[in-house]
Structure 1
Amino acid sequence: MRFTQGLYGYAVALFVCLAGAGLFLLITPQSREEHIPRREYSITVANFNHAVPYTMWKPAKDPDGWIPNSNRIAKGADGAQVLYLGYATAKREHAMFVQSNERPAAGFASRMANSDKSVGTEQVNGQPWDKRLREDKDQRTLVRVLPDVTLVVTGTADWPELAQLAGALQEIPKT
């Protein structure tokens, strides 16, 4: 009983606990590598293409070093289909491509950008994209409104990275 009493007992118990924790940390595998889950989006894109009545857009090829990490189809404010493709960029920022035929297009674009204020235009593959900035959220957005669809590229990525994603977009014919 003397072993569990007093300062000596307390010190032994503390040592045993710390030794056990140290042993656990020593034998537990630890990875120092970054792990960003990769989410394939080809089936989501195919399903979206079948569900919408217009020619859709998708990246022809993911930009080098980018990891697609999210994708989904959702309903827009007026019941329109919305496609979301999310990425971790080469600089490990966030970028997302969103498209929909939701109307009014300006309302959809403003909601995706968290801003309705233009800060200029960006030429991407010879096409003008509206630039929007939401400084308090560190969010930059490129918007292109076409007759039947609105394209939005947004995220914490810098302007060149967003333009890189916008430049990778291509029209996919209806199937």
Structure 2
Amino acid sequence: MRRFTQGFYGYAVALFVCLAGAGLFLLVTPQSREEHIPRLDYSITVANFGHAVPYGVWAPPKDPPGWIPNSNKIAVGENGAQVLYLGFATAKREHAMFVQSNEQPAAGFVGRMANTDKAAGTQQVGGVTWEQRFRSDKNQRSLVRVLPEVTLVIIGTADWPELAELAGRLQQRPKG
């Protein structure tokens, strides 16, 4: 018995017992190969945001097909302005986030949200012009639309067509 507790044989037996135990554990532990992205309803957050701001809130009345809303929050931005964040996993399983606020100056808000102050071009979405911004080191694209009452920004690692799909679904809800 002593030779199994000392030297190379003892080490080999201990290693075998540990590996066998780990293998048995992995064998009996249930494993899921399915993707699980939590789905979070944002309707209450959007309604609460609508009560807190002096303008009609923008939001998609219906999510794009295959998209999963997975985050939402209301935060306080610069100068006490309210900021609404709606996050999505896109159909291609990239990230897209819609952000809106009446924070002033709008250029400062857009620069912080897009992580760049340089425009990369424009894109037409449903007859409306959106400014494109791109930050290559983060593979982050942004669509920006500055309106008189509110600034809309769509940010993400999603490609331009997916970001445009979200932009095209946005509708302003009446204040009330």
With normalisation by structure 2, the TM-score equals 0.95
Residue 23 of structure 2 corresponds to which residue in structure 1?
Answer: 22
| Secondary structure, aligned partner of 2:12 | helix
The Cα offsets for residues 55-110 of structure 1, whole Å up to 9 and x where unpaired, read as 11001211111111111000111111000000111111110000000011111111
Which amino acid is the alignment partner of residue 112 of structure 2?
A: R
Identity %: 78
**Alignment partner of 1:78: what SS?**
helix
What is the aligned partner in structure 2 of residue 125 from structure 1? 126
Kindly provide the amino acid, as one letter, of the partner of residue 94 in structure 2. Answer: E
Q: Which runs of 5+ in 2 are unaligned?
A: none
**How many angstroms apart in 1 are the aligned matches of 2:114 and 2:96?**
12
Q: Does 1:12 align with 2:13?
A: yes
Q: Which 4+ runs in 1 deviate beyond 4 A?
A: none
Match of 2:86 in 1: 85
Counterpart CA distance in 2 for 1:10 and 1:162 is 57
Distance 2:11 2:33 in 1: 36
Q: Deviations over 1:5-40 (max 9, x none)?
A: 343333322222111111001001111111111111
- Aligned partners of 1:74, 1:44: CA distance in 2, in Å? 11
Specify the code of the residue in structure 2 equivalent to 1:168: R
Give distance in 2, aligned partners of 1:59 and 1:130. 19
Matched letter for residue 164 of structure 1: E
Return the offset for 1:114.
1.0
1:96 maps to which residue?
97
Q: Which amino acid aligns with 2:125?
A: V
SS in 2 for 1:119: strand
Unaligned runs of 5+ in 1: none
- TM-superposed deviation, 1:124: 0.8
Alignment of 1:9-158 (within 5 A): 9-158=10-159
Distance 2:39 2:130 in 1: 28
C-alpha separation between the residues in 1 aligned to 2:81 and 2:18?
Answer: 59
In the other structure, the counterpart of 2:166 is 165
How far does residue 121 in structure 1 lie from its aligned partner after superposition? Answer: 1.0
